[in-house]
Every structure is written in structure tokens, then in C-alpha cells.
Chain A
Amino acid sequence: MNRVYRYPLSVRITHWLSALCLGVLAMSGMQIFNAHPALYASNTSNFSHPVLAMHGEADHGGGPLGYVKIGKHRINTTGALGWGPDGMGQQAERGFPSWATIPGPQDLADGRRWHIFFAWLFALCALIYARWAFALWPSAKDIRAVPAALKEHLVPWRILPTAEANPLQKLSYFIVVFAITPLVIVSGLALAPSVDAWAPWLPALLGGRQFARIWHFAGMLALMAFFVGHIAMVALTGMINNLRSMITGWYGLKETS
């Protein structure tokens, strides 16, 4: 079988560690968000005009109601967002439900401990990973090949393994490593008052501290969207070969699954 050594050990380790970190960061981040489930597009909180907010009412015309308010629009999300399981066998007013948060029950103090610990680990992984990821810098040839690659990805299960990552892969990994990851790290730092004392320009650059929270939240959503696409492509383009390559480093060039 033809095969190629695609991922060195440091990349494989940091890949899986980053995956773990991102999972924990998203879930503990939602725990932190739940302490004040509202976002504001300014430096301070204009409490009566959030851009996005989650609310719940125990009794709204005979039953509980949970909803997400985006601007003036309300979306009924009873049971999931605004009103949902509290992790202690009850339903309660909560932003994100207990099954999506770390820890499960409402616990801001411990949610912060998890978040800050894994933020350090993630930043470390991202640094090591980024050194390798520079090879993903898309060339002019890659950009020209994007339309063809897009067409190819309409039927992903027919994509044949090649020695080099395809242009869409390169582009999406590049955006994740060099745009979204720096954004979530920088916007997260801007939320810390002591960091802001050292670098007052940091929250200002992002539209203010509360706006930095929006960037941080949007970055999380973007990473989740990437995660869904990534998992789908891994599953559809030769799952065994793909998974094995990120464990052993060796990527088979012939369809082996």
C-alpha cells in the first residue's frame, strides 16, 4: 500500500489536546455565559438593549417558557435555551442547559477554573500547532484550485486520498489556526480587567469589553461550525484512513477502508 507520513508526533499530540481543550472551553464557557446570559455591542452593558439574551419564565400562560432574544426578535427555545435542565433533576431558568455545560449544575466559580486552566493548555497547543500549520499557507495555485475543489466536495465520498492536503482543507485549517483561534484568544484576554490595565488598546480594538464578549462568543460558534464540517469530512472521505493518520502519522494513498 502506498502511504505518506503526514503528521509528525507534535502535531498529532497537539491536535488531540486542542480538540479536548476546545470541547472543555466551549462547555465551561457556556457555564460562564449562563451567569449573565446577555451580550452587548459596546464597552459597557446597556442592560435594556442586549444584542442577544436568553430568558426563561417558570409560568408563562400555563407552562414554562424559554426564549432567545436577538435584537427585537424572540425565538422560542423552551427546554433547551433560556429554560431547561439545571443538572439537579429540575428545570430552571438557564442560558445553556446543564448537559452542555461544565460543570453541569450552575457553578460560575468552577466553570471559570476549568475555562482558565484549559485556556492556558489550549494557547500552548495552538503555539506548537501553528508552527506546523504555516505549511498550510495557501499558495496562488491553491486559490485557483478552490472552485474545482468545491465541486469535488459536493460528493465528498468520491474524493481520492492525495499526498498533499487539498486546497479547501488548507484554506479551512488556515482560517481556523490563523484567524479564529487568535480571535478567541485575544477577545478572551480582553475580558480580563488586569489584562486591560496592561493593554487598554486591546478591548478598544474589539469595540469595548462587552463587544469583546461578542467576538469571543462568535469565535466559539465559528469553531463549532468548523468542528461539524471537519467531523463530516473525516467521516465521508475514508474515516479509518483519516483517523489512523492522525494517530500514527501515516496516511494511506489508496482507499483502504
Chain B
Amino acid sequence: MRRPQFLAMLAGSALTGCSRLATSLDDNAPFHRLLQSPEKLDLAILGAGQPLAREYPDRDISADFRQNGFDLPSSPEYSRWSANGWRGYRLFVSGLVESPKSYDLAALRQKFRTRRQTTRHDCVEGWSVIGKWTGARLADVLADCRPTPQAHYVVFHCLDDDGSGTLYYESLDMRQAAHPQTLLAYELNDRPIPLKNGAPVRLKVPTQLGYKSAKYVARLELVADLGGANGMGGYWEDRGYEWFAGI
């Protein structure tokens, strides 16, 4: 064998060895916990304040707001609502609140001050698009239902499922929920949110990766803790992704 070929083979097998070793380490539970340890530090540093995500002029809006995630919700109600201009759809707020309520789209529009933001959406896969969102501040909606002092997280229950019946869900802590740019959006680029982008109501959290911004939101539940019956706090979190999606 010639020298360059031998060196290439050596380098190739060294890489393969590294990748195999790392793959088996990845399955080791204590090591995996070690790998997950920076998340708390990241949250402590980056989640310490409420800085605003940059807002862009309209000319920066992406021509197409890329669709990602699951197919449209498959329930017959969803098809009926979408065919009837969302008549029948209500957003429920339940759990640790003093006054559980529900809102139809008109109530969300009229009851709460309208907020607009043109922000960048960064997908965990790596791509970015810019969209203009209109909706109510999550903080305003929550204040209307008066969370109890025990409420530490908001869980967002969604209508879309992964094809095997598992529904999408997400969660925020009360600080993230109180961020002025955290919206319950009902419009994208001055029009009702298209079906593919999460109609009729989706969450928008511009300071974190896209998977936090749950689509097709049906119910907000205020809870004391995540874990247990509440999972790891999200569909993707249950599959190994960070709960703090700021990085």
C-alpha cells in the first residue's frame, strides 16, 4: 500500500473509532447526564433577564415562512373549525388559576391589547426566517385568569400529533411567559395564520429556538412542576432536546 493511501486509511479508521466510541458513550446514562449538565448553567446566565429579540422592518420579512413539524391536526373538529372561520374553536386556560377561562378568536382580539412584532424564527435544524406576528401578550391572557402563587410553569397543549397519536406540547416558566415578546399569535404577516404555520393560535417565543413556539395551541395549563405526568416539558424535550431552547 502506498504511503498516502495508508495515511488516509489510518485517519479514516481513527475517525470511525472516535465516532463509535462517542456513540457508545452517548448511550451511557451517567455520561449522558454529564453532557446535559450545561443546560442549567445556560439558563442561569442567559435566562437571567428579559432582553428583547431584535425586531426587523417589514422589508426583511421572508417570502415564505417555512413549515416544519407535524402535519395539520387530524381531528374532525379541527377540519370543521377551519372550514367555518374558526367558529367553535376556543383557547382554554386551566390548572393553577383562580378563574379558569376560555376565549374564542374574537375575544382574544378584543379583550387584549394587540401586539405586533417582526422577529426572526431560528429553527433548531439551523435555518432562519423572519415573520410579522400579531397577537395578545401571553402575560396579559394569564393575568386575566390570575395564576395562583403555586403556578410555576405554563404548559401548552396542542392539537397536532406526530402521526402515532402523541400530541405536541411545550412549556415555559413564569419568567419566560412574562416576557413582553412572548405572544399568543393569531396573525402572520397581517393575515390569519396559515394552516401550515399553526392556525388559528400559536405561541411565539422569539428568544428561543423554533420548537418552543408551539403551533395549534388549544389549552394552557398552569402547573407547579414539570416532570412526572407533565413529561419533560415538551414533545421534543421528551426526545432529548433542551427544555431551555435559548441556544
Interface residue ranges, A against B (CB under 8 Å): 23-24, 27, 32-33, 35-36, 38, 40, 43-45, 47, 87, 98-105, 107-110, 112-114, 116-117, 120, 191-198, 200, 209-210, 213
Taking a contact as CB atoms under 8 Å apart, the answer to whether A117 and B19 are in contact is no
A210 touches B46 (CB 8 A): no
Q: How many A-B residue pairs have CB under 8 A?
A: 138
Could you tell me if B38 and A120 are in contact, using CB atoms closer than 8 angstroms? Answer: yes
**What distance in Å separates the Cβ of B240 from its nearest Cβ neighbour in chain A?**
3
User: Are B51 and A209 closer than 8 Å at their CB atoms?
Assistant: no
What are the residues of chain A within 8 A of B66 when measuring CB–CB?
A: 45, 47
- Bound Cα distance from A101 to B16, whole angstroms: 9
A117-B38 CB under 8 A given contacts A195-B46, A197-B207, A198-B51 = yes
Verify A197–B122 contact, CB threshold 8 A.
Answer: no
Where chain A touches its partner, the secondary structure class is: helix
**Residue of B at shortest CB range from A111?**
B26
Closest to B237 in A: A109
Pairwise interchain contact B241-A109, C-beta atoms closer than 8 A: yes
- Given A47-B66, A116-B38, A100 contacting B122 (CB threshold 8 A): no
Instruction: Provide the residues of chain B in CB contact with A100, threshold 8 Å.
Output: 15, 19
Contact across chains for B240 and A44 when beta carbons are under 8 A apart? no
Interface residues on B, range: 35 or more
Q: Is B60 an interface residue (CB 8 A)?
A: yes
User: B107 an interface residue at 8 Å Cβ cutoff?
Assistant: no
Tell me whether A99 and B16 are in contact (CB under 8 A): yes
Contact B127 A113 (CB under 8 A): no
Among A23, A44, A113, A198, point to the contact of B36 (Cβ < 8 A): A113
Decide: B23 and A103 in contact? CB cutoff 8 A.
Answer: yes
Chain A residues with Cβ below 8 Å from B18 are 23, 27, 102
Given A23-B18, A200-B54, A210-B128, A193:B26 Cβ within 8 A: no
Q: Could you list 20 examples of A-B contacts with CB < 8 Å? A: A33-B126, A35-B125, A35-B126, A36-B125, A38-B127, A43-B120, A43-B128, A87-B19, A102-B22, A108-B124, A109-B236, A109-B239, A112-B241, A113-B240, A114-B26, A116-B38, A117-B38, A191-B122, A191-B247, A193-B53
Q: A99-B15, A197-B52, A213-B126 are known contacts. Are A112 and B46 too (CB-CB below 8 A)?
A: no
Q: Is there an interface contact between A45 and B12, defined as CB atoms closer than 8 Å?
A: no
Spell out B's residues near A (CB within 8 Å): 12, 15-16, 18-20, 22-23, 26, 32, 34-39, 41-42, 46-47, 49, 51-54, 60, 62, 64, 66, 120, 122-130, 206-209, 236, 239-242, 246-247
* Cβ B19 vs Cβ A101 within 8 A: yes
Instruction: Report yes or no: B209 in contact with A43, Cβ–Cβ below 8 A.
Output: no
Question: Once the chains are docked, how many angstroms separate the CA of A100 from the CA of B122?
Answer: 26
Asked whether B247 lies within 8 Å of A116 as measured between CB atoms, the reply is: yes
Q: Which of B12, B42, B54 has the most CB of A within 10 A?
A: B54
Once the chains are docked, how many angstroms separate the CA of A209 from the CA of B35? 26
Report yes or no: B120 in contact with A209, Cβ–Cβ below 8 A.
yes
A44 with B120: in contact, given A99-B12, A197-B207 (CB under 8 Å)? Answer: yes
Report the Cα distance A250→B214, complex, angstroms. 58
Q: Give the chain A neighbours of B236 by CB distance below 8 A.
A: 109
A198/B12 in contact, CB under 8 A: no
Task: Point out the residues of chain B lying under 8 angstroms from A117, CB to CB.
Answer: 34-38
The contact of A193 among B120, B127, B129, by CB within 8 Å, is B120
